[in-house]
C-alpha cells in the first residue's frame, strides 16, 4: 500500500477540519453501520451563531434557516436542515444563545464549512459548528413546526426541595431508590425523563404521560408512575416488563441495552445523587428531591471521545431548564426550587482552558439560570485518565534543542477514529513559522509538515485510490471559540469486521514539534483522544497512547517519587516522579470538560483505615489546566471503598439491587447530593463553597493531604457512605 500526502490550498480551507473528516471520511464507516447512504444521514450539530452586524446580537434560528435557502442547495432548507422541534416559535425568533443545536445533512454542512472562512461567511449565519451523532432519517422526528405539548405536566414540591438533574446513560428510572416512600411508594420521583434510547411506538400513552421528542421519548412522572403501577406483581416490580412498557428495552431494535445489565452507569450515578432507600429515610426527605433525568443515546456514549455524546449537552440542558420551569414550590406559584445538575462524563480532548464548546455551553446554562434567579450548580468528574498515557507536556526552551518528539502508538484492530490534539500555550494568533508539526507515519509513509498557519492548514493522507485515511491540521486561535491554536491528527480505523476499508496504518506515529529561535519559549500540551472500549459496552475501539520510554508507570528502587506515592517495587504511581524528563505526564490529565470556571469538579479517593491516609485514586485525573480560574478539581470524594474493593455501592439496574462501580463518575454525584443538601438549607454551594467545605473536612497541614491539582480544597472525608456500610464492617463510616 502506497500512501501520499495532499496539501490543501488556500481555496479549499474549511472552518473545522475535524468536522470535515467526520462528514467525508468517517461517514464511510457510519454509513455502513446505519445502512444509510452518507448523503441521506442527518447529523446533530452544535452551532455557535455568527453575530448579526445589524443588531450586534447573534443571528436568530430563523435567520440561519433563511440563509440556508440561498446556499444553492435547493429552495427548501427542510431537505437538509432541521431546527429541533423542541425549540419554540418564540425561541426561534430572538437572538440565539451562544450555543444552539441543529440537525443537518452533509451537503449543507460541507457548504457551511467552506464558506465561513472566506468572504461568503456572512451567508450562513454560523460562526462555528461541531458535528456529533449521525441518524437514519427514520431515527428522528423531522417536522418544521415546534412540538405542542397538549397537557404540560406541572409539579409542586415541598419547601426545601432541590431538583436533581442527571445526564447520563443507562438510567433504570424504575429502581426503588427513585420512587417515593411510604404512602408515595408507587410514585416515581422522576418528574421528567428524556430517554434518547427510547423506542418510538404508537402504543405509548399521550400527554400528560408522554411528551414529544425528536429522538427517543420523554416520560413525565405521571406516565412513569402509571407504568410502575401496571408492572407491579405480588408487590415487586417486573423490571423487564416495566422497561419494555416505556420503550427502554426492545431487543428487536437495540443491540446494546445498558439497563438490562446488572450494572448500568446512569443508574449507579443517579442512586448516589438522588437515591433514597426505603429503610432509614424520612419519606419527606425523598419527596424533596424530584429528579429530571436525561438518558443519552447508548450508541453515542460507547464512543468515549465525547465527540458524540457531548454534542447532546445543549439539548439536554435545554430540556432540563425547560422542564425545571414546571416544578414550583408548593403554595408559592412560580417560585422554583434550586437545581443541581450532575454530568458524570469526561473526555481527554479540548483546549483545557475553559473555551471548549462543552464548557461554554455549561457556562451559558449556568448564566441563564442565574439570570432567571434560579440557584443552579453543575457537577462534573475530574476524569479517570491519570494513568492513560494520553497527555504530554511539551516545552521548547531557549538554549536547548528546538525540537521535541513524541511517539504515538496507534493500535491495530482499532475500529474507531484515533486522534490527538496539540494545543499551544500561546494565546492568540501566531506566525506561520512559530511552530511546525512534522508527522512521521509507520511503514514508509513520507513525513509531512504542517505549519502554524492561520486560520487553518492541513495535509490529508491518501491511498493509491485517492481515498482519505488521515488528516493533519492546524487551526489558528480565535477560529471558532478557541483562544489558542492547535494541531490535530486524525486517523481512520485500522480495522473493522465490516466492509468499510481501506484502513489507516497502525503502528508508531512520530510527532516532531519544532520551533525556530525567534519563537522564544514554546509550550504545548498534547492529548490523545479517548477511544477505548468501555467496560460492559460492545467492542468499539482500542486506546492509542503516547509511548514515552522515560515515562515511569511503576515504582522501581532509586526512582525519586512523590512522597504521596508508595515505594512498593512494581507498584503503580499516581503522581509523576520528581524531576521527570518524560513528556508524558499525569499532571494535566483533567477531563476536557472540566476547565470551565463555574462547574464543580470532583476527583476520587480510596477509603482507608485510618481515614486520614486516604490516597487519591490512581486513575483520578489531575490538574493543572490552562485556565487560571480552574486549575484542577475543586475537591475529592470517595470512589473506591478500599484498596481491595474497587468502587462504591449504589443502585444496580434491577430494582432493589446494589452494585459497586469505581471512578470519578461516582465521586461527583456524592458531592452533587451534598450540594443539594446545602442549597436546601439556603446556603451557597458553588465551586468556592465546595473547596471550602473540603478544606474543613481535610484540614491543611497533614502529611497525607493531596495537592490542589489532585483534590482541590481537599478530600471530603465526612460525606456519608450512602449505601452498603457493610463494606467496612464494624465501622461507623
Partner 1 sequence: MANSGGFGPEGSLGSLGSLGSLGSLGSLGSLGSLGSLGSLGSLGSLGSLGSASANPPLLVQALITNRDGIAGSFEPVAPGDVDAGSQESTAYLERLSAGVRSSIFALELGSRVGFKFDGGDANVYHLQTEYGTSETKYQLLMEMKRPTQEIFADQLTMIANYADLRADRAGEIISQLATPLEFLRSIAFVDPARTPFTVELLGMSLWLANYVEMRVKYALGCKRPVEWSPQIQPMIWTPTHGSLPSGHATEAFCMAQVLWRLLQDTGTEPYSGGLWGEMMMRQAARIAINRTVAGVHFPVDSAAGAVLGLNLGEYFVKRSMQIAPDKGWKFDGTLFKDASGSAEGLDFDWRQYYDFASTPPGLKAGVAWVTEAGFQNSAPDAPSLPLGWLWTKAKAEW
Q: Does 227 bind partner 1 (CB under 8 A)?
A: no
- Measured on CA atoms in the order 530, 531, 536, 537, is the torsion positive or negative? positive
For residue 359, how many C-alpha atoms fall within 13 Å in the half-sphere facing its CB? 25
Please report how close the Cβ of residue 297 comes to partner 1 at its closest, in angstroms: 15
Please report how close the Cβ of residue 239 comes to partner 1 at its closest, in angstroms: 10
Q: According to CB under 8 A, which residues from 524 to 543 bind partner 1?
A: 536, 538
Site mask for partner 1 (CB under 8 A), range 641-670, x = bound: ------------------------------
Span near partner 1 by CB under 8 A; candidates 65-73, 260-268, 484-492, 568-576? 260-268
Closer to partner 1 by CB, 424 or 659: give it.
659
Identify the residue among 6, 69, 93, 253 touching partner 1 (CB under 8 A).
253
Residue in the structure block whose three cell numbers are 474507531: 416
- Three-state SS sequence of 160-194: CCCEEEEEECCCCCCCHHHECCHHHCCCECEEEEE
Give dist(CA 456, CA 437) in Å, integer.
Answer: 13
Closer to partner 1 by CB, 250 or 440: give it.
250
Task: Mention every residue, 6+ apart, whose C-beta is less than 8 A from residue 583.
Answer: 392, 393, 394, 404, 406, 526, 546, 548, 550
Q: Does 571 bind partner 1 (CB under 8 A)?
A: no
Identify the residue among 251, 508, 521, 553 touching partner 1 (CB under 8 A).
251
Identify the residue among 120, 262, 325, 566 touching partner 1 (CB under 8 A).
262
Identify the residue among 254, 402, 409, 427 touching partner 1 (CB under 8 A).
254
Q: Does 35 bind partner 1 (CB under 8 A)?
A: no
Closer to partner 1 by CB, 266 or 350: give it.
266
Buried b / exposed e along 231-260 (16+ C-beta atoms within 10 A): beeeeebbbeebbbbbbbbeeeebeebbbb
Please report how close the Cβ of residue 230 comes to partner 1 at its closest, in angstroms: 11
Closer to partner 1 by CB, 250 or 285: give it.
250
Cell of 482: 478557541
Closer to partner 1 by CB, 249 or 313: give it.
249
Please, are residues 341 and 379 in contact by the beta-carbon 8 Å criterion? Answer: yes
Please report how close the Cβ of residue 530 comes to partner 1 at its closest, in angstroms: 22
Please report how close the Cβ of residue 115 comes to partner 1 at its closest, in angstroms: 42
Span near partner 1 by CB under 8 A; candidates 256-264, 438-446, 460-468, 604-612? 256-264
Selection from 715, 664, 416 nearest residue 543 by Cα: 416
Helix H segments across 306-465? 313-324, 357-371
Span near partner 1 by CB under 8 A; candidates 98-106, 234-242, 304-312, 591-599? 234-242
Q: Does 69 bind partner 1 (CB under 8 A)?
A: no
Q: What φ, ψ does residue 151 adopt, rounded to 5°?
A: -130, 85
Please report how close the Cβ of residue 653 comes to partner 1 at its closest, in angstroms: 10
Give dist(CA 86, CA 101) in Å, integer.
Answer: 10
Give dist(CA 143, CA 220) in Å, integer.
Answer: 22
For residue 731, how many C-alpha atoms fall within 13 Å in the half-sphere facing its CB? 16
Closer to partner 1 by CB, 228 or 716: give it.
228
Identify the residue among 1, 185, 236, 681 touching partner 1 (CB under 8 A).
236
Identify the residue among 24, 31, 154, 256 touching partner 1 (CB under 8 A).
256
Selection from 264, 280, 331, 354 nearest residue 652 by Cα: 264
Closer to partner 1 by CB, 256 or 427: give it.
256
Closer to partner 1 by CB, 238 or 440: give it.
238
3-state secondary structure of 708: helix
Closer to partner 1 by CB, 250 or 597: give it.
250
Please report how close the Cβ of residue 252 comes to partner 1 at its closest, in angstroms: 4
Find the distance separating the first CA and the last CA of the chain, reported in whole Å: 61
Closer to partner 1 by CB, 286 or 651: give it.
651
Task: Mention every residue, 6+ apart, whose C-beta is less than 8 A from residue 544.
Answer: 408, 409, 410, 411, 414, 418, 420, 528, 531
Q: Does 260 bind partner 1 (CB under 8 A)?
A: yes
Please report how close the Cβ of residue 255 comes to partner 1 at its closest, in angstroms: 5
Kind of pairing, strands 4-7 and 376-381?
A: unpaired
Please report how close the Cβ of residue 266 comes to partner 1 at its closest, in angstroms: 16
Q: Does 200 bind partner 1 (CB under 8 A)?
A: no
Q: Does 732 bind partner 1 (CB under 8 A)?
A: no
Residue in the structure block whose three cell numbers are 509531512: 448
Closer to partner 1 by CB, 56 or 234: give it.
234
Task: Mention every residue, 6+ apart, whose C-beta is less than 8 A from residue 602.
Answer: 379, 380, 381, 382, 633, 634, 635, 636, 637, 664, 667, 668, 670, 671, 690
Which residues share a beta bridge with 584? 392
Selection from 661, 607, 658 nearest residue 637 by Cα: 607
Please report how close the Cβ of residue 198 comes to partner 1 at its closest, in angstroms: 14
Please report how close the Cβ of residue 233 comes to partner 1 at its closest, in angstroms: 6
What CA–CA distances, in Å, run from 513 to 490, 491, 580?
17, 19, 20
Identify the residue among 4, 244, 438, 657 touching partner 1 (CB under 8 A).
244
Identify the residue among 257, 494, 599, 711 touching partner 1 (CB under 8 A).
257
- The answer to whether the bond into 208 is cis (omega within 30° of 0) is yes
Closer to partner 1 by CB, 241 or 645: give it.
241
Residue 110 burial (CB count, 10 A): 16
Q: Does 234 bind partner 1 (CB under 8 A)?
A: yes
Span near partner 1 by CB under 8 A; candidates 158-166, 235-243, 273-281, 516-524? 235-243
Please report how close the Cβ of residue 253 comes to partner 1 at its closest, in angstroms: 7
Closer to partner 1 by CB, 535 or 628: give it.
535
How many residues contact partner 1, by CB under 8 A? 20
Residue in the structure block whose three cell numbers are 405539548: 149
Give dist(CA 37, CA 31) in Å, integer.
Answer: 6
Q: What φ, ψ does residue 439 adopt, rounded to 5°?
A: -110, 125
Identify the residue among 52, 154, 156, 250 touching partner 1 (CB under 8 A).
250
Closer to partner 1 by CB, 233 or 371: give it.
233
Closer to partner 1 by CB, 98 or 139: give it.
139
Q: What φ, ψ does residue 402 adopt, rounded to 5°?
A: -95, 20
Identify the residue among 2, 90, 119, 255 touching partner 1 (CB under 8 A).
255
Identify the residue among 154, 238, 440, 495 touching partner 1 (CB under 8 A).
238
Closer to partner 1 by CB, 266 or 485: give it.
266
Task: Mention every residue, 6+ apart, whose C-beta is less than 8 A from residue 642.
Answer: 606, 607, 608, 727, 728
Closer to partner 1 by CB, 256 or 572: give it.
256
Q: Does 512 bind partner 1 (CB under 8 A)?
A: no
Residue 152 burial by Cβ neighbours in a 10 Å radius (0-12, 13-18, 19+): middle
Q: Does 233 bind partner 1 (CB under 8 A)?
A: yes
Span near partner 1 by CB under 8 A; candidates 208-216, 229-237, 327-335, 599-607? 229-237
Selection from 237, 243, 337 nearest residue 292 by Cα: 337
Residues contributing to the site for partner 1 (CB under 8 A): 233-236, 238, 241, 244, 250-257, 260-262, 536, 538
Amino acid at each position: 500500500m502506497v500512501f501520499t500526502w495532499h496539501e490543501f490550498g488556500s481555496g479549499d480551507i474549511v472552518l473545522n477540519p475535524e468536522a470535515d473528516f467526520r462528514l467525508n471520511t468517517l461517514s464511510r464507516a457510519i454509513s455502513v453501520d446505519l445502512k444509510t447512504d452518507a448523503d441521506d444521514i442527518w447529523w446533530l450539530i452544535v452551532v455557535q451563531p455568527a453575530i448579526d452586524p445589524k443588531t450586534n446580537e447573534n443571528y436568530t434560528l430563523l435567520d440561519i434557516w433563511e440563509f440556508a435557502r440561498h446556499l444553492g442547495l435547493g429552495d427548501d432548507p427542510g431537505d437538509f436542515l432541521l431546527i429541533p422541534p423542541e425549540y419554540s416559535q418564540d425561541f426561534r425568533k430572538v437572538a440565539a444563545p451562544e450555543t444552539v443545536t441543529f440537525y443537518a445533512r452533509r451537503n449543507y454542512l460541507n457548504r457551511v464549512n467552506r464558506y465561513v472562512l472566506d468572504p461568503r461567511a456572512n451567508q450562513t449565519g454560523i460562526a462555528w459548528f461541531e458535528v456529533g451523532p449521525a441518524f437514519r432519517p427514520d431515527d428522528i422526528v423531522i417536522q418544521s413546526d415546534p412540538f405542542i405539548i397538549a397537557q404540560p405536566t406541572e409539579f409542586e414540591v415541598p419547601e426545601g426541595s432541590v431538583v436533581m438533574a442527571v445526564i447520563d446513560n443507562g438510567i433504570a428510572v424504575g429502581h426503588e431508590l427513585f420512587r417515593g416512600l411510604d404512602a408515595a411508594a408507587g410514585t416515581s420521583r422522576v418528574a421528567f425523563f428524556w430517554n434518547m434510547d427510547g423506542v418510538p411506538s404508537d402504543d405509548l400513552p399521550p400527554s400528560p404521560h408522554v411528551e414529544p421528542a425528536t429522538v427517543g421519548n420523554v416520560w413525565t412522572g405521571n406516565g412513569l408512575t402509571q407504568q410502575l403501577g401496571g408492572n407491579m406483581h405480588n408487590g415487586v416490580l417486573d423490571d423487564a416488563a416495566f422497561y419494555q412498557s416505556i420503550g427502554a428495552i426492545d431487543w428487536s431494535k437495540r443491540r446494546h441495552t445498558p439497563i438490562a445489565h446488572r450494572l448500568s452507569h446512569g443508574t449507579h450515578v443517579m442512586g448516589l445523587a438522588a437515591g433514597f432507600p426505603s429503610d432509614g429515610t424520612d419519606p419527606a426527605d425523598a419527596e424533596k428531591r424530584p429528579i429530571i433525568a436525561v438518558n443519552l443515546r447508548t450508541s453515542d456514549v460507547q464512543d468515549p471521545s465525547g465527540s458524540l455524546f457531548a454534542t447532546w449537552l445543549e439539548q439536554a440542558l435545554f430540556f432540563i431548564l425547560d422542564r425545571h420551569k414546571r416544578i414550583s414550590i408548593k403554595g408559592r406559584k412560580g417560585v422554583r426550587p434550586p437545581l443541581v445538575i450532575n454530568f458524570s462524563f469526561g473526555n481527554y480532548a479540548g483546549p483545557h482552558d475553559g473555551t471548549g464548546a462543552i464548557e461554554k455551553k455549561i457556562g451559558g446554562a449556568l448564566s441563564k439560570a442565574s439570570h432567571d434567579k434560579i440557584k443552579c450548580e453543575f457537577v462534573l468528574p475530574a476524569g479517570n485518565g491519570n494513568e492513560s498515557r494520553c497527555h504530554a507536556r511539551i516545552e521548547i526552551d531557549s538554549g536547548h534543542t528546538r525540537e521535541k518528539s513524541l511517539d504515538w502508538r496507534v493500535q491495530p484492530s482499532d475500529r474507531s477514529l484515533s486522534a490527538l490534539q496539540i494545543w499551544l500555550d500561546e494565546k492568540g494568533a501566531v506566525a506561520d513559522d512559530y511552530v511546525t508539526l512534522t508527522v512521521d507515519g509507520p511503514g514508509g509513509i513520507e513525513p509531512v509538515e504542517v505549519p502554524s498557519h492561520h486560520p487553518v492548514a492541513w495535509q490529508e493522507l491518501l491511498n493509491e485510490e485517492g481515498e482519505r485515511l488521515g488528516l493533519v491540521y492546524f487551526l489558528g486561535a480565535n477560529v471558532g471559540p478557541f483562544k489558542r491554536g492547535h494541531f490535530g491528527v486524525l486517523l481512520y480505523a485500522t480495522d473493522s469486521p465490516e466492509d468499510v476499508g481501506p484502513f489507516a496504518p497502525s503502528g508508531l506515529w512520530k510527532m516532531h514539534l519544532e520551533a525556530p529561535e525567534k519563537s522564544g519559549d514554546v509550550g504545548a500540551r498534547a492529548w490523545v483522544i479517548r477511544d477505548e472500549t468501555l467496560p460492559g459496552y460492545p467492542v468499539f475501539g482500542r486506546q492509542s497512547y503516547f509511548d514515552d520510554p522515560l515515562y515511569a508507570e511503576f515504582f522501581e528502587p532509586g526512582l525519586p517519587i512523590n512522597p504521596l506515592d508508595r515505594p512498593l517495587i512494581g507498584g503503580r504511581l499516581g503522581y509523576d516522579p520528581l524531576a521527570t524528563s518524560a513528556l508524558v505526564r499525569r499532571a494535566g490529565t483533567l477531563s476536557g470538560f472540566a476547565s470551565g470556571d463555574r462547574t464543580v469538579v470532583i476527583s476520587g479517593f480510596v477509603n482507608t483505615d485510618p481515614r486520614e491516609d486516604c490516597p487519591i485514586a490512581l486513575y483520578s485525573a489531575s490538574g493543572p489546566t490552562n485556565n487560571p480560574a480552574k486549575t484542577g478539581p475543586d475537591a475529592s470524594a470517595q470512589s473506591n471503598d478500599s484498596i481491595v474493593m474497587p468502587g462504591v455501592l449504589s443502585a444496580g439496574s434491577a430494582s432493589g439491587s446494589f452494585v459497586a462501580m469505581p471512578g470519578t463518575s461516582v465521586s461527583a454525584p456524592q458531592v452533587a447530593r451534598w450540594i443539594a443538601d446545602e442549597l436546601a438549607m439556603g446556603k451557597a454551594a458553588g465551586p468556592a463553597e465546595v473547596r471550602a467545605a473540603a478544606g474543613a473536612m481535610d484540614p491543611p497541614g497533614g502529611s497525607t493531604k493531596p495537592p490542589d491539582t489532585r483534590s482541590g480544597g481537599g478530600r471530603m472525608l465526612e460525606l456519608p457512605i450512602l449505601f452498603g456500610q457493610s463494606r467496612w464492617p464494624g465501622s461507623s463510616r
